Structure 1
Amino acid sequence: MRPIKYIVALTDDEVTRLKNILKDKTTNQTIKKRSQILLDADINHGETHQRKEIAKYNRVAPSTVAKVTRFFVNNSFDEVLTFNRGEGSNHSHQKIDGEAETKIVKLACGHLKAIRTGHYGYWNRNAK
């Protein structure tokens, strides 16, 4: 068996914060999974589990457990609990919104009838 390269040793305050995050119903599922992985991998509190057991228990891949523990050891505690979004995932930086896109498509495809539902446009050729 390969030795564990990144050892997670949490303080009492960090364990308390992680448990509070797990109790909070508004917390993102990704952050909850990371919190549970860190609690399961902690060597200071409770029994320590193998990485494969942690992955199976949390229903994630073993590589996810390795990435979370590595990120915790190499970075700060707060950075692990931050949901990092990519540059293109924020819709506030889009050049046009759904309404402007609807107008452009109407101009380009005048012979098609458009039905707009929700935030994004849905175009149906058979609309009445």
Structure 2
Amino acid sequence: MPLPKYIVHLTTEERTELEDLIRTGKRAASVIIHARILLKADTGANGPGWDDDRMAEAVECGASTGYRVRQAFVEESLAAALFRKKPTGRQYRKLDGAQEAHLIALACGAVPEGRSHWTLQLLADRRVELNVVESISPECVRVTLKKTNSSRGCANSGGFRLRPMPNSSARWRTCWRSTPGPTTRPGR
């Protein structure tokens, strides 16, 4: 099945904007390449109307890049063709610093009745009950608690500084004067 052909028709304003963008060179390399692709693919009165292979060779990019840039221009807009989209699947932090501190205080505090210790699910449910967050997963609680030094099971809970370890790579003393023989250099 052949790929659909996306034909680029630039207005004079768009063409001058792209030429100014290329001329200044104050943008990311990908933006400049996309602008050059659009200028070469323009089939209007002032454009050369090149195909993907010739454009890819001139701009020094892949033919699929030219196809994707033309597709974004026709289906969306000039800005969508020039600039990369923000990632949609990115997960931002669920808890800020104050909320993390409250979670740590809750985990180090008294255990609920009928329980011997806090579980990640109990901590997550308690955070929702206290209306600190709308929803939180036990994995988020685990990651938050892992990056702190206040673990109850840890030997160092952060209250006391660890003593520095003695240097295990002490300098070896060689007694080169006490063992005369052919292995030592004369004149030392």
Q: Same fold (TM over 0.5)?
A: yes
Q: Using structure 2 for the length normalisation, give the TM-score.
A: 0.45
Equivalent residues in 2 for 1:1-128, closer than 5 Å: 5-44=5-44, 45-86=46-87
TM-score, normalised with respect to structure 1? 0.63
Q: Distance in 1 between matches of 2:82 and 2:48?
A: 23
Separation in structure 2 between the aligned mates of residue 46 and residue 84 of structure 1, nearest angstrom = 27
Q: Give 1:78 shift.
A: 1.9
Distance 2:11 2:37 in 1: 15
Distance 1:24 1:37 in 2: 17
In the alignment, structure 2 segments of 5+ residues that lack a partner are 95-146, 148-188
1:85: Cα distance to partner? 4.1
Aligned residues of 2:39 and 2:47 also touching (Cα < 8 A): no
Whose Rg is larger? Answer: 2
> In structure 1, how many angstroms separate the alpha carbons of the residues matched to 2:83 and 2:43?
23
Q: Give the 3 Å change call, closer, same or farther, for CA 40–4 of structure 1 in structure 2.
A: farther
Question: In the aligned structure 1, how far is the partner of 2:82 from the partner of 2:63?
Answer: 19
Q: Letter of the 1:25 partner, please give it.
A: G
Q: Which runs of 5+ in 1 are unaligned?
A: 96-103, 105-128
One-letter amino acid of the structure 1 residue matched with residue 31 of structure 2: I
Give the percent of matched residue pairs that are identical in Structure 1 and Structure 2.
27
- Tell me by how many angstroms 1:82 deviates: 2.2
Per residue, is there more helix in 1 or in 2? Answer: 1
- Structure with more contact order per residue of length (Cα contacts < 8 Å, sep ≥ 6): 1
Instruction: Provide closer, same or farther for how the CA distance between residues 3 and 80 of structure 1 changes in structure 2, counting only shifts above 3 A.
Output: closer
Task: Measure the CA separation in 2 of the matches of 1:8 and 1:46.
Answer: 9
Q: 1:63 to 1:16 in 2, by over 3 A?
A: same
Give the RMSD, CA atoms, in angstroms: 3.2
